[in-house]
Structure 1
Amino acid sequence: MQTTSLTALLLLLSGCSNLNNNLNAPIKPKIDETLEVIDNNSLKSISDMTAIAFEWKKVDDARVIGYNFYRANMHKDGRRLKLIESVNNKYTTHFVDTELEPNTKYVYQISSKAANGIESNTTNAYITQTLPRIVPVSFVQALSDLPNRIKIIWRPHPDLRVEYYKVEKFNSTLNEWNTEKKVKGRLQSEYIDTSLDNNESFRYRVTAYTFEDVSTNPSEVVTAKTKALPIGVQNLKATSDEPKKIILGWEPSVTSDIIKYEIHRSSIKSFGFNKIKEVNNNTFAFVDQIEEDGKEYYYKVISVDKDNLKSSSKVDAVKGSSLNKPAKPTITLAQIQGSKAILNWTVSDNRAISYNVYKKTMLNFFESKTEKFTDVKDLRFEDNNIITGVEYKYSIQANDTYGLMSEKTDEASLILPKIPVKK
């Protein structure tokens, strides 16, 4: 506290007002030098961070009905004082000036006031200062490599006046700090920021607030980065020469904490993928059993780490297919020679190791009987078991080493003509 004379410098920007603080209409003060002034030696104060409390000895002048308080912020206003409060009770001897700035010097002068807007000379200038802010949070740390989140921890503030903390995150787009979370309780010491993008860096700071809502200065800025997605598998391949199945094989992800792989499949290259299987992190192959021959599928293998983060699905799919049926042979000859039917054909697929011959005997216009001759090794078939005048229809089918059978050829129709009887 410091007192000094400001008689020549005092600038009263507002006149006297009533108890409801109606201080908006500045008027020139009307000074009565005979009015008793508050004793400078009786004026005392107690400071807080945003408030200053005053105490004084009341005046005994019967004309006095209250007191006017004038104030200036010495950091901003210099010594340009203005009326901040008009007290309408001469017996009042305490006043608290609030909503002040921490660690700031203020100068005050007080006058006694009488009726009709008359007031006394002011006290000498009374200079005092608000207390500094409490110290910032001393230790803050942001933890990186967490899945879609960052954990911020700090040391609880030792000052018992602290009620809560504000965690702020820097918005690089707007180039400003935004409040991320209000954490209540002096002893609270962590906040987890969730739903973040992968492999992204973020900046944070923590500010403590007192019960009077006075903030410390922000803590040091800390930076952390979210965990990156795992790397996908390498050299994924799918077979196209296996019967009734597609075999996938791949090299493992180089990410160290992979726990499993997901196999996704679609019949379309660009979309429609569904998970069909999970395998552990020591498995680098998968057999997809397929009922259809020549069935095509597209595959992606997704790496999954211990935090259930998955490698990107935006990778090229690999096509595989089950082995197709062998191509059907081509009939080159179908005729009756003597009393037998003869069929010749050529190979259309090198996979063929044997043939099936189907013989359909037409019993009448509506009925037929079919016989199947299997494991025919030659490219020729002779049928001696035919009857004159009966229509026979033959078709050929190729077999491969896996037991896959081609489509049947178109039927070749043969009839052993009846021998006319000589009369």
Structure 2
Amino acid sequence: LPVPQTASSRGGVRSVFIDIAPDSSEAVESYTVLRGRTESGSYQEVGKVENSSRHVSFEDRNLLDAETYHYKVVGRGRSGMTTVPSQPIRVATAGPPDAVTGLSAQSGLIRKVILQWQASFDPNVKGYNVYRRTSGDTWAKIKTLDGQSRASYADEGLDDEKTYTYRIAAFNVVETESSPSRTAAATTKGPPSPVTGLKAASGEARKVSLSWNPVNEPEVKGYAVYRASQETGPFETIKSIEGREQTQFVDGGKKGYFSDDAGLQDETRYYYKVRAVNVVDVQSPESRAAIAVTKPVPTPVTGIRTGEFEVKQVTVEWEPNPEPDIAKYEVFRGEEQASVNKSLGEIPGSAYRFVDKGLKDGTTYHYKVRAVDKDGLIGKFSIAVRSSTKPLPRNPRGIKAAFDGGQVIVSWAPNPEPDIVKYAVSQKGFMFWDKAGESNGPSFAFRGEVKKGKTLTFRVTAV
């Protein structure tokens, strides 16, 4: 029988492949493969393969990494005879993958580090293991990546402004790792830079307009606005603003439609701070505080005064308010000083006089006035002043009536009022008082029908 000839051999991952040049299958039925650790040492049978006369190959498995083995092949004829062993062949198994090269780590990213390396050209490489450590820590495997061609990885969910060190190891189909790559370190990005140039406008009605310089960092997505009523705080978030270029905000005091937070108070000091916010909601250090004082309400109206004893009216006057933006004045009346609450109307801010008409005679009234500015801020009331309308003339006293020939002379005491212009005399009829006449003095001659035995009744009214 012919001595077997090997066509080729090659080492694999923990395996060896041997290709045998087949002889005639009529002469050689099968081949036995022997293995030894040294060329001249003993050999052990490791397998048998049938002769197909076309392609005969054998795989020796479960070997050690990066080890050299020696093989001989013995043919067996159909008669049971065996051939002389072939010349020994020397084959080495594959070792661990080569170390990964070109590892780099990108710093300055938000809560992540991007790793890149040179992908292995070794066909036995199945993937890569990523290892990480921080200062003082031991190495920890954080990710297994499948695929020989993988050459990058993003390590996410990291802390802000922290340094991480990485190394990569390739692994083959039996999970054997290469030696570690050289290390690469990267530092994650810290919080955004503080907001600068914060300004708060004073003198606005129940609001404060804020403005600041934009933080020109690409990861900044907006700003958080804080407010406090004291310099030492506490500062509470009143607004989250979307957009890096949105650098203005008007604080009207209300946080939302269903909020119990009222508007800003008049003539009140407020403190503000602003923080930049990045895409993962990390906030910058707080800005310097800006201070604003809201607009005060108009001062109380002064110099209020009234006319006295006007006929069925009272004239109310006052001094103009010192504020330049008074839009109107509101006048209130009451019959008691403690209840001056009836609104009489609104007077333009350029007018300082109001006439209250249609009043009752001889009645005392109380008045207050307050100013309202163009922003609708209502000032405090003036002091209350009072005035009385002119009373009706007193009823004439000492009325007498006496017959004098064919007439009746009606007389009375003159009224004390200095402005009496006349007296009206009436005679009592069956059901009503009938006008008898008028007199400029304290007497009147009635020349109407006078019947003997009839009683006449007169009354006198001063006008």
Residue 119 of structure 1, CA deviation = 8.1
Cα distance in 2 between the residues matched to 1:150 and 1:212? 29
Is 2:192 the partner of 1:139? Answer: no
C-alpha displacement of 1:199: 0.7
What is the correspondence of 1:110-121 to structure 2 with a 5 Å cutoff? none
CA distance in structure 2 between the aligned counterparts of 1:151 and 1:85, rounded to whole angstroms: 49
Residue aligning to 2:129: 67
Distance 1:225 1:162, change over 3 A: same
Match of 1:394 in 2: 458
Residue deviations 1:347-372 (CA, integer Å, cap 9, x gap): 6653462552433254xxx5567124
Is residue 38–residue 110 contact of structure 1 (8 Å, CA) maintained in 2? no
The alpha carbon displacement at 1:267 in A equals 5.1
Give the counterpart of 2:104 among 44, 47, 71. Answer: 44
1:85 and 2:147 matched: no
| CA apart distance, 1:130 | 1.9
238, 243, 249: which one aligns with 2:311: 243
Counterpart for residue 357 of structure 2: 289
Shift of 1:152: 0.7
AA in 1 matched with 2:215: H
- SS of the residue aligned with 1:312? coil
The 3 A distance-change label for structure 1 pair 348 and 40 is farther
What residue in structure 1 maps to residue 295 of structure 2?
A: 227
Partner of 2:329: 261
CA pair 251-257 structure 1, distance change in 2 beyond 3 A? same
Contact 1:166/1:207 (<8 A) preserved: yes
Q: Could you tell me how far apart the structure 2 residues matched to 1:82 and 1:272 are?
A: 81
1:38 touches 1:123 (CA, 8 Å); kept in 2? Answer: no
Contact 1:361 1:391 in 2 (8 A): no
Partner of 2:343: 274
Give the letter for the 2:209 counterpart: K
| Letter of the 1:374 counterpart | E
2:380 equivalent in structure 1:
312
- From the superposition, tell whether residues 361 and 252 of structure 1 become closer, same or farther in structure 2 (CA, over 3 Å): closer
Which secondary structure does the structure 2 equivalent of 1:146 belong to? Answer: coil
Cα distance, 1:237 vs. partner? Answer: 1.5
Paired residue for 1:375? 439
Q: Is the 8 A contact 1:235 1:250 kept in 2?
A: yes
* Aligned mate of 1:209, from 251, 254, 277: 277
**Shift, 1:295, TM fit:** 4.5
2:413, 2:97 → 1: CA distance?
Answer: 130
2-side partners of 1:38 and 1:299: how far apart? 100
What SS does the corresponding residue of 2:417 show, helix, strand or coil?
coil
Give the whole-Å Cα distance in 2 for the aligned partners of 1:167 and 1:278.
41
Give the conservation status (yes or no) of the 8 Å contact 1:261–1:301.
Answer: yes
Q: Given the two structures, how large is their TM-score scaled by the length of structure 2?
A: 0.64
Change (3 A) 1:381 1:178: same
For residues 183-198 of structure 1, what are the structure 2 equivalents within 5 Å? 183-194=241-252, 195-198=263-266
Contact (CA 8 Å) 1:265, 1:297: kept in 2 or not? Answer: yes
CA RMSD of aligned residues (A): 4.0
1:330 aligns with 2:387: no
TM-score (norm: length of structure 1): 0.69
CA contact (8 A) 1:266 1:299 kept: yes
CA drift of 1:236 comes to: 0.9
The code of the aligned residue for 1:149 comes to K
User: Residue by residue, what CA displacement relative to the aligned partner does 1:168-201 show, whole Å, maximum 9, x if unpaired?
Assistant: 2236599433332233333333111124221111
- One-letter amino acid of the structure 1 residue matched with residue 156 of structure 2: T
Unaligned segments of structure 2, at least 5 residues:
1-64, 67-94, 253-262
Decide whether the 8 Å contact of 1:361 with 1:390 is kept in 2. no
User: Looking at CA atoms only, which structure, 1 or 2, has the larger radius of gyration?
Assistant: 2
Q: Is 1:165 aligned to residue 220 of structure 2?
A: no
**Amino acid corresponding to residue 275 of structure 2 in structure 1:** T
**Contact 1:140/1:153 (CA < 8 Å) preserved in 2?**
yes
Q: Which amino acid aligns with 2:105?
A: S
- C-alpha displacement at 1:292, in angstroms? 3.5
2:6 aligns with none
Structure 1: give runs of 5+ residues left out of the alignment.
1-32, 400-423
Where does residue 421 of structure 1 map in the other structure? Answer: none
Q: Percent same amino acid at aligned positions? A: 22
